Amino acid sequence: MRKFEFIIIFLLLLGFLWGQSADIDMILQKAKNGDAESQYDLAMCYQYGDGLPQDLKEAARWFLLSAEQGYGNAQIFIATLYALGEGVEQDDAQALGWYRLAADQGYHLAQHAVGQYYDHGIGVVQDKAEAARWYLLAALTGDQEARYDIGMFYYQGIGVPQDKEEAYFWWYLYDFYKSEDDDPHEDNLAAVAAELSAGQRGKSVARAEAWLDENGW
């Protein structure tokens, strides 16, 4: 199910990006003193058994303490744990609520997640227009999967008016940033290109290249 695909990717990505070499005793002391970043670091130690015995419930407890202070990565992680029911009781509404808080802070992973929840009606009434809004926001913030998803929405006219030039624009950016670690989506860029005139393709490519120049990506 797509839901579990994207939340597992979040766990793997956050675990990969996190690296902790600081002293565990120092992390623990700062966490107990209320430092949100240290609470997150301590939670990661418990989550992955790094310097401490692995304890998923204790990890979730520290993620929650950090998240309640507004630490975005912790909000994403506790949301993902609620989605999976790992260390906490599974609760889609709680997951969406925490993703939404991180999304409101501009975290593109969380923005894409909120889009997925509305897209598939997970813990909320399905709303394709709201899903499109969050996919677009995440794509603008730099989320690779969101570029693919909003491209599909524009291509098929899901939640937004059908616009194949807009689909071409987002899939052009998706292909530009595509790596071997990305989902093996079909080559939709070639498919939509065949449905556009040379002028339409040129217009979308020029816009995408301007986007790349402006954003330095």
How would you write the pLDDT of the chain (217 residues) with one tens digit per residue?
Answer: 455 455 555 555 555 445 555 589 999 999 999 999 999 999 999 999 988 999 999 999 999 999 999 999 999 999 999 999 999 999 999 999 999 999 999 999 999 999 999 999 998 999 999 999 999 999 999 999 999 999 999 999 999 999 999 999 999 999 998 887 666 676 789 899 999 999 999 999 999 999 999 986 6
b/e for 55-93, b at 16 or more Cβ within 10 A?
beebbbbbbbbbbeeebbbbbbbbbbbbbbebbbeebbe
Tokens of residue 186, six digits = 């079909």
Tokens of residue 209, six digits = 């290249």
Q: Kindly list the structural domains of the chain, giving each domain's residue range(s) and its CATH number in brackets, ordered by start.
A: 2-126 (1.25.40.10)
Whole-angstrom Cα distance, residue 62 to residue 64? 5
Asked if 108 contacts 141 with a C-beta cutoff of 8 angstroms, the reply is yes
Whole-angstrom Cα distance, residue 14 to residue 112? 15
